[in-house]
Structure 1
């Protein structure tokens, strides 16, 4: 099982994948572990940016750009504005929980081991992949031909949810 690690790490693309994957997992764990909300936002922004790096490795440049633009940029800024607009009485200091942290580490290591074993023993199907010259052009063609109805339904859903958020915020203000 470990004999495949040497061949896996012989490629620069695989090393970049390993680094971005560790950054994504680390950012997610930090986001769950931190107690201050601003630190959580920075940790989840690190996760979003590392996911964009994984998309670049997969030759999905458009999805990586959208990931950075929407998630790492807009969602993180929205979270920070939400923090600034809410009232905080003071952050409570939680007592140290060594048993919880030990169990968390054991669970994470066990999950990593199971996933590592499953990935090493999985036979991936081989097939021919047609690489397109311009990913953005192909996404646009599919979005406005085959998937135009779900795209429009999603825009209506987002508009209704935005209006609903305004109504709820207006009620709380009164």
Structure 2
């Protein structure tokens, strides 16, 4: 057992526990924290796979931006409705049975899988390789995406400003 394998098992366990807690917790803020643990542990798995760029993007976009958007959505909506029926105990046992069944199916699917290892230099300076490809080969789609995001942001500002003006008139 190598240190990399132990780190993978720890990160995978945190990701699975975060996902299970996300499903089972009842308070929305606790669910978001469990989701953050899952996102960060997946970023750690990306680091183990020598995909540092994807790991940083995972942390910035998912653990940062998506989680903040979810928190704003939670804070701006009414979620204190207690009229919903609480799930029974059979739901937790069914969930546990489903998780065990899925884990067994995945284990059986990869147990006898024969994957030959091929030497590759893809992980060497992968951020540099992504940057070179992005700004040479894919520069036009990159610029079109940035123009699209800028137009979207301007549209959101115009719509928000229009709503503020209407609210001030009343």
Length-normalised TM-score, structure 2: 0.81
d(CA) in 2 for partners of 1:59 and 1:98?
42
1:123 matched to 2:114? The reply is: yes
Deviation per CA, 1:105-153, whole angstroms, max 9, x where unpaired? 1111011001011122111132121155422211100111222333234
Contact 2:39 2:58 in 1 (8 A): yes
Partner of 2:19: 28
Size of the aligned set, in residue pairs, is 164
| Corresponding residue of 1:90 | 80
Offset, 1:165? 5.2
What are structure 1's unaligned runs of at least 5 residues? 1-9
Pick from 129, 134, 139 the counterpart of residue 125 of structure 2: 134
Report the TM-score when normalising by structure 1.
0.79
Partner of 2:94: 103
Q: Alignment partner of 1:35: what SS? A: coil
Partner of 1:5: none
User: How large is the RMSD of aligned CA atoms in angstroms?
Assistant: 2.6
Where do 5+ consecutive residues of structure 2 fail to align?
A: none
Is 1:45 the counterpart of 2:65? The answer is no
Matched, 1:11 2:14: no
